[in-house]
Structure 1
Amino acid sequence: MNYLAHLFLSGDDEDLRLGNFIADSVRGAQTLLYPDRVQQGIRLHRLIDSFTDSHPIVAETKERLRPKFRKYAAVVADVYYDHFLAANFQAFSPQPLPDFAQLAYAQVQARPELLPERVHHFLPYMVRHNWLVSYAQIEGITRALQGLSSRAKFDSGMETAGEELLLNYSFYQLEFERFFPELQHYVQKEVILLS
């Protein structure tokens, strides 16, 4: 899952949300430098990634993507799933997506001393271009994937992933709709265990 899903799945807990958001920029023992609940958010992020990466429905999505995007199929799948969450946010939350996004940005920006350098680097751009809301549109997802492609170490093909999404939209949407409620249920149980 990508940024929107990780932020959303943290519920209303600001520290859990912050940890979940920064987790990809925190390595190994660095986790111990954070307050306990932020550490739990970092762990939650990794549990979400593990559950997602090993789920058979997500495997279907990645298998469809692999011929075009090879080792980047999982990255493309994560971004597609964030698109479907954003595009259908009202089905998962009573809070409108623009309101959720502004709250999430404000919560993360309120704790600059806890943000890793990598997050300090991309967060202003993320907020300025309102990535979380832009994910709801094909154009926003296409821009996100083009940006990822430009930063990839190898030829990824991700710059064409917006076209692939349009071509097989209903397949990817159905897989997301089957998968995401299972992920939500898993996260609800894990959040209780982390508390």
Structure 2
Amino acid sequence: MNYLAHLFLSGDDEDLRLGNFIADSVRGAQILVFPARVQQGIKLHRLIDAYTDTHPIVHQTKERLRPKFRKYAGVVADVYYDHFLASNFHLYSPQPLKTFAAEAYSQIQRDPKLLPERVMHFLPYMVNQNWLVSYAQISGITRALTGLSRRTTFDSGMERAGEELELNYPFYQKEFEQFFPELQAYVTQQISLITFSEK
């Protein structure tokens, strides 16, 4: 899953949300420098990724993408799924996407000393260009994937992923709609276990 899904799945817990957001920029023992609940958010992010990467529905999505995007099929799938969450946010949250995004940006920036250097580098672009809201449009994820493609060492094809989404939109949407409720149920269970273990 990509940024929007990780933030959304964290619920209303700000520290859990922060950890979930920064997790990809935290390596090994670096996790120990963060407050306990932020550490839990980092671990939750990794559980979400592991669950997603091994789910049979997500496997179907990635297999359809693999001929065009090869090892980046998983990256493209993650961004596609954020698109479907963003474009149908009202089905999953009583809060408008624009409001959710503004609150998330504010929370993430509340304590800059907790942000890894990599996050500090891309966060201004994320906020100024409102990535979370832009994901609702195919043009928004095309920009995101084009940006990612520029950082690969060879032709990833990700800049053409918007065309693929338009071509096979119903298939990817159906897979997301089947998968996401299962992911939500899994994350709710994991958060309950985390909370229980802290008592």
TM-score for both structures, normalised by structure 2: 0.97
Query: Number of matched residues?
Result: 195
> Quick one: which amino acid aligns to residue 39 of structure 2?
Q
CA–CA distance in structure 1, aligned partners of residues 122 and 145 of structure 2: 15
CA–CA distance in structure 1, aligned partners of residues 115 and 147 of structure 2: 22
Aligned-residue sequence identity (percent) comes to 77
Instruction: Give the gaps of 5 or more residues in structure 1.
Output: none
CA–CA distance in structure 2, aligned partners of residues 111 and 127 of structure 1: 16
> 1:7 aligns to what?
7
> Quick one: which amino acid aligns to residue 192 of structure 2?
I
CA–CA distance in structure 1, aligned partners of residues 153 and 57 of structure 2: 28
Residue 152 of structure 1, CA deviation = 1.5
Shift >2 Å, 4+ stretches: none
TM-score for both structures, normalised by structure 1: 0.99
Instruction: Give the gaps of 5 or more residues in structure 2.
Output: none
> Quick one: which amino acid aligns to residue 39 of structure 1?
Q
> Quick one: which amino acid aligns to residue 146 of structure 2?
Q
Residue 111 of structure 1, CA deviation = 1.3
* Map 1:67-146 → 2, pairs under 5 A: 67-146=67-146
Listed one character per residue, the Cα deviations across residues 24-43 of structure 1 (whole Å, up to 9, x for unaligned) are: 00001100110000000000
Secondary structure class of the residue paired with 1:38 = helix
> 1:175 aligns to what?
175
Q: Please tell me whether residue 45 in structure 1 is matched to residue 45 in structure 2.
A: yes
Listed one character per residue, the Cα deviations across residues 47-74 of structure 1 (whole Å, up to 9, x for unaligned) are: 0000000000000000000000000000
Listed one character per residue, the Cα deviations across residues 93-129 of structure 1 (whole Å, up to 9, x for unaligned) are: 0000000000000000101000000000000000000
